[in-house]
Amino acid sequence: MKGQHVTITSEWTPREGERYVLGEGPRFVDGQPLIVDILSGRLIDSDSGRTLIQIDEPLGAVAPLTGRNGWIAAAGTGIALIDPDGVEWLAKPEVSADTPMRMNDGVADPMGRFWAGSMAYDNRPGAGSLYRVGVDRTVDRVLNDLTVPNGPAFSNDGSVMYLADSARGVIFRFDVDTTLGDLGPAVEWVRVEGGSPDGMCVDENDHLWSAVWGGSRIDRYAPDGTRTASVPVPVTQPTAVLITPDKRILVTSASFGFDQPQVDDGAVFVAETTVAAAPAARYGPSN
């Protein structure tokens, strides 16, 4: 694969060990690629397969905390801080929703805020929302009428946010006020064909990478929305993509929904590439 001078320089290698039901949320933290298995409530060191966190709620995504050990998590029906002392819920905004809900993907932005989406278990159209967690721990709903939000992902300076609504096949782009965290109007940036946009990341060149659920591929886009590359992966349901600082590319996948999953459905795949990306941003004030 070539595009904008980016090349995958090795074959995809599935990680040995467990095949996950809904592996997602890959993040590079303290030199290690971490993933979640959403429905089992686990945070996992992808290199070793070791479980770092186990909670009794679905675990959509995490970000490391600034200045202390622990995580902020999109989990269950809300947002929690998880550290060696236990779980502290900041808010459970979806606990009393009209239909059963869970949190899905989420990420910290370069300014230390955390953003996470929610979705209905039955994928009810428009039931989902996007929440912003300020560095002061306030939790605000900033978008509604979403169905299956994935991402968000941020440009390297934090001034642009990308958010996929997988059920609608659309990646939206928003300008971001980096001081206040306010979003500009939603722009339908990319409409994806042949699958649904899923988990995303941004590389050092501010190109967006997106897994394509049901499409057996990952796509790369320039900041103007031009697709510059499309990379086949050896599973039908890739769920998210991670570019690491040491120029590895990881793709998570799911065995969820198959009557008879294939041997590598739910695996984490690894290859080498010629582009890097920053480690995961941390949640919390920088000083």
Phi-psi region of 158 (alpha: psi -120 to 50; beta: other; left: phi over 0): left
Calpha distance 7→273 (Å, rounded) = 6
Closest to 100 measured CA to CA, from 83, 123, 81, 82:
123
Q: Please determine, for residue 140, whether its predicted confidence score (pLDDT) is greater than 80.
A: yes
Q: For position 7, what pLDDT does the model report?
A: 78
Binding-site residue set: 24, 102, 104, 122, 150, 198
159-193 pLDDT tens trace: 999 999 999 999 999 999 999 999 999 999 999 99
Report how many helices (DSSP H) and strands (DSSP E) the chain contains, helices first. Answer: 0, 26
CB 71 within 8 A of CB 43: yes
Q: For position 3, what pLDDT does the model report?
A: 40
pTM of the predicted protein model: 0.95
Which residues have a catalytic role annotated? 198
Residue 45 confidence class, pLDDT cut points 50, 70, 90: very high
Strand order of the sheet with strand 227-232? 196-202, 208-213, 217-221, 227-232
Lowest model confidence (mean pLDDT) among 106-110, 152-156, 262-266, 283-287: 283-287
Report, as an integer, the average pLDDT of 85-96. Answer: 95
The first and second tokens of residue 7, run together, are 């090349």
Q: What is the mean pLDDT of the chain?
A: 95
Report, as an integer, the average pLDDT of 219-225. Answer: 96
7-20 pLDDT tens trace: 788 899 999 989 99
Binding-site residue set for a divalent metal cation: 24, 150, 198
The first and second tokens of residue 31, run together, are 């030199």
Residue 98 identity:
D
Report, as an integer, the average pLDDT of 64-85. Answer: 95
Residue 234 confidence class, pLDDT cut points 50, 70, 90: very high
Binding-site residue set for substrate: 102, 104, 122
Share of the chain above pLDDT 70, in %: 98
Q: How many CA atoms lie within 13 A of 16 on its CB side?
A: 1
Give whole-number Cα distances, 284 to 67, 87, 112, 245, in Å. 8, 17, 5, 22
- List all residues 6 or more positions away from 144 whose beta carbon is below 8 Å from its beta carbon: 126, 128, 129, 130
Q: Please determine, for residue 2, whether its predicted confidence score (pLDDT) is greater than 80.
A: no
Q: Please determine, for residue 6, whether its predicted confidence score (pLDDT) is greater than 60.
A: yes
Q: For position 149, what pLDDT does the model report?
A: 98
Closest to 1 measured CA to CA, from 202, 194, 272, 241:
272
Superfamily of domain 2-272: TolB, C-terminal domain (2.120.10.30)
